Structure 1
Amino acid sequence: MAYTIHDLARDAGVSSTTVSRVINNSGPVKDRTRAKILKLMEEKDYNPNPFARGLNNKSMKTIAVIINDIMNPFFTTVVKGIDGICQEQGFSFILSSIENNPVKERVEIENLTRKNVEGFIIVGSRPTVDDNSAYLAELSERYPVVLVNSKIRGSNKLYSVYIDEKQASLEVMDHLLSKNPKTVYFLGDVTWRTTHYKYKAFKEKLLEKGYAFDESLVIPCNYNYESGRAAVNEILSRNPGVPFSIFASSDMIAASVLKTLLEKGIHVPDEISLFGYSNMEISKLVHPGISTVDQKMMTLGKEGARLFIDLMDRKAPEKKNRKIPYELILRETT
């Protein structure tokens, strides 16, 4: 990676804001500190990109925001929250969608470092086998990095904002088993860490309540509006008999499940109960409305942006991981 303003700030023992003031000659800096920074710039052959300094000699104050999938409403809602705080605080951001591709994630980060961004907000679940975890830990030594909706252990400078996915899912299972105690199916892609937490809660609660657990109760699903249809067809092909329940790990999956069930003339919730996750707009627009976990997506984005700006101002919190409260939203599908 190129030597950046954050490297310069670290080596000088000051904030990146102070370095920016020296570069742009735009604010009060002690003469001794200014001389130290200018000397380091010369030693390191640091030549800031004129564009990165912005127009009228003002810092660009630009954040790189990386999301997994721009087509998923979860990410657009989180980004809206980030945008609100950025506008309040005079920041802008560059948005990159990596299409759930770890190779593309690294390429995009390398490209964005060359644009002299202030740091990174990375939104979305991490894979259970995360090839980039060490890379992101190293990145956080050079830039402020905030993870939204996930966390990576083993780094002192990676900060996270998320909800307790497992605890929320345990509450979902309690509700489903109280309403329809026969059988529950879990739909999702457990290769993603947040879904794996839901899966663990699903299994744990079944065993706790004295049910037999079998992996056939777990139906693999991608996070889109089509995967639920295939999952319903798979379940019904087994002739399971009704009633039973479905815990879909995303409202996108749940909406597709609901549409397919209704097309087949199956009554929800009388024959099949359905619970989604995230509280996307689609969950309240369909009929019957989908019970779901309100993941506070806008709040996740806002808190992620606030945390990032605190890190920029060298106000790092004592706790690296910040949990956001969630809420179970009970609608007609349960």
Structure 2
Amino acid sequence: MTSTPATAVDLPGWRHVYSGKVRDLYVPSTDQAPKTPEASEAPEASEADGGAPADGAMLIVASDRVSAFDHVLEPGIHGKGAVLTQLSRWWFDQLAVPDHRVAETGALPPVPADVSERAMIVRSLDMFPVECVVRGYLSGSGWKEYQTTQSVCGVALPAGLADGDRLPTPIYTPAYKAPLGEHDENITFERTVELVGADAAEALRDLSLSVYARAAAVAESHGVILADTKFEFGRDTSGEIVLADEVLTSDSSRYWDAAEYAAGRRGVSFDKQIVRDWLAANWDGSGVPPRLPHEIVERTAARYRELFELLTSTPAPRD
């Protein structure tokens, strides 16, 4: 069972409707959208859809909370919400695909200044119950599965691969978005067809592979390897498939230092792997996780900022 996210703050002009592990969702306070289903019924990963009517304006606010092994940890990583939100915005601008952002207009409440760097106004979508994972390198849960089956999510791979190897070609390995409190489940493409239909499943696969290829090339030009990532998509009221949620952040992706990789030091990452490694070494998985030491928090925050600056060539947001 997951830990309960911290209570969201009140924002003038906006009504809180849902909190995931790390983000809080709001609708305009004059909006009559129904409240979100109970947390046990709402998909945790569908933070782009918090119960507002389709295409209704929503405010996604990224907190500094950090999660690992299905628990929200204490303390948070200072500055994380701003860095990841700004990175999502930057990536949305690089990608030639429709996304869920909405321009601020006089018809909407202003975004409060104290959350503006970590907030995006978006439209609510009919979200697909699938995390669209693309892997260009063999690592993480994919590596564990490969050792047993020589495949990942039903995709057969060549024999003799090692942890961190670049794959002959990127592979699409979707996951079913489980309800809050349950683990997401890696699934085959055929299972995706059963969940969303053949046409949508093919469109999600093709879009995911295309966006990954573009993003991986951009990252490589900045000295960074995009080892794998996950995308989330939804349909708007016209039926168009739209890229939603966060995109290509340090929390939704595995980024490696290309120079370190070339030198044989694989997996030197720009994400919360520092947190995962410390927690795995200092917690047996039972009860409440221990508090993160100051050093772990600072190192993780620094890695988030470093990735942002490498990719965007601009200073990272600060606390």
- From the CA coordinates, give the structure whose radius of gyration is larger: 1
Asked if TM exceeds 0.5, the reply is no
Structure with the bigger percentage of helix: 1
Q: Shorter-chain TM-score: what band?
A: under 0.3
Q: Which structure has the highest strand share of the two? A: 2
